Every structure is written in C-alpha cells, then in structure tokens.
Amino acid sequence: MTAQSERTLVIVKPDGYRRGLTGEVLRRIEAKGYVLAELKVATPDRERLAKHYAEHEGKPFYQPLLEFMSSGPATFAVVEGHRCIEGFRALAGATDPTAALPGTIRGDLGRDWGEKVQANIVHGSDSPESAEREIGIWFA
Ligand code: DAT
Ligand code: MG
C-alpha cells in the first residue's frame, strides 16, 4: 500500500453471489481504477457477522440481516486506492436499492424483494476506522 493509498472492505453479499453478480461488481471496481488486494469466497458465520454489524444491534432489521448474510456464500475483497472508501460507496449507491440511482451497483442491479432486510448486493466500509476493523474481522 502506497502512502497515498487507502483500503476498504467490500462484500458481495449472498444475494449478489447467488445471482452471479460477483464478476460484475469486481469489474466495476477495477474499471474505476481500484486494485483488488485480497479476495475470497466464504459463507459468513454468525459470530463474525455480529462483530461486523455491532452498530446495528437492537434495530428491527438486525436479526433478519444476520439471517440473510449467513444464508450462503459471499465474496470478500480488500480493495485499495486513494479515496477508495468514498469512491466505492459512490459506486454502490444508496442503501435502499429501490431509491439507489441508476448507474450505481444497487441502482442498476438491486431491487426491493419485499423482505425485512434490504438485500442490496454489496457492503462497503464507511470510514478508515471501519475499514481496518472490518478487514481485521474477515481477513484475520
Ligand atoms: P450501508 O450498507 O449502506 O452502509 P447500513 O450500514 O446503514 O447501510 O446498514 C447495513 C445493512 O443493513 C444494509 O446494507 C441493509 C440493512 N439495512 C439497513 N437499514 C435498513 C432498513 N431500514 N431496513 C431493512 N434493512 C436495512
Ligand atoms: Mg454500513
């Protein structure tokens, strides 16, 4: 990692993996000019998901979120590049895939399936502190 660089954790969630959208998401990350530093496929376990989503504990969508996230394989990537945290969040689009703008991953590829949780294809860290914390959870 260069001095100018930054790292973020990207997850192609189980809905994205099941729909065969992993390649499309990774393509957009690379087309933007970011680098894939680490990559793996794994089914997220409840213990690490609880750490990852600790900020949402107690919210109405928390249990459905853990249920959904542990429902099958996901792709984990450490993405690198100057301002990639903000940049990937822009590529991903708004949390609600129905409202997410066309041109974004969630806006182009996601929708509301009427479930209790937003199945919105991707996760991206929201700050340098979150990124290092989350990379530590999934790439320990
Ligand atoms: P983001 O993934 O855009 O950073 P977040 O951190 O607020 O959003 O929430 C984590 C995930 O939880 C999100 O990707 C989908 C789900 N979620 C968030 N808010 C929700 C809501 N109001 N209803 C259902 N699911 C929600
Ligand atoms: Mg978040």
Give pLDDT tens digits for 54-95: 999 999 999 999 999 999 999 999 999 999 999 999 999 999
Residue 118 lies in a domain: yes
Residue 2 lies in a domain: no
Residue 110 lies in a domain: yes
Give pLDDT tens digits for 93-110: 999 999 999 999 999 999
- The boundaries of the domain holding residue 99 are 7-138
- Categorise residue 10: left if φ over 0, alpha if ψ from -120 to 50, beta otherwise: beta
Is the pTM higher than 0.85? The answer reads yes
* Cα 132 from Cα 137, distance rounded (Å): 9
Q: Decide: 97 and 107 in contact? Cβ < 8 Å.
A: yes
Give the pLDDT score at 37: 98
Residue 1 lies in a domain: no
Q: Is 41 exposed, middle or buried (CB count within 10 Å of its CB: 0-12, 13-18, 19+)?
A: exposed
Do strands 122-124 and 35-42 pair parallel, antiparallel, or not at all (unpaired)? unpaired
Give the pLDDT score at 11: 99
**Helices (runs of H) and strands (runs of E) counted in the chain:** 7, 4
Percent of the chain past pLDDT 70, that is, above it, reads 97
Enumerate the β-bridge partners of residue 8: 79
Going from the Cα of 121 to the center of ligand 2, the distance in angstroms, rounded, reads 13
Residue whose Cα lies nearest atom 22 of ligand 1: it is 61
Residue 112: CB atoms within 10 A of its CB come to: 12
Residue 23 lies in a domain: yes
Residue 126 lies in a domain: yes
Q: How confident is the model at residue 2 (pLDDT cuts 50, 70, 90)?
A: low
Going from the Cα of 27 to the center of ligand 1, the distance in angstroms, rounded, reads 24
Give the pLDDT score at 14: 98
Q: How confident is the model at residue 4 (pLDDT cuts 50, 70, 90)?
A: low
The CATH code of the domain that includes 133 is 3.30.70.141
Residue 77 lies in a domain: yes
Please tell me if the CB atom of residue 95 comes closer than 6 angstroms to any atom of ligand 1: yes
Residue 132 lies in a domain: yes
Full DSSP string of 63-129: HHHHHHHTSS-EEEEEEESTTHHHHHHHHH--SSTTTSPBTBHHHHH----S-SS---SEEE-SSHH
Q: How many domains, the chain?
A: 1
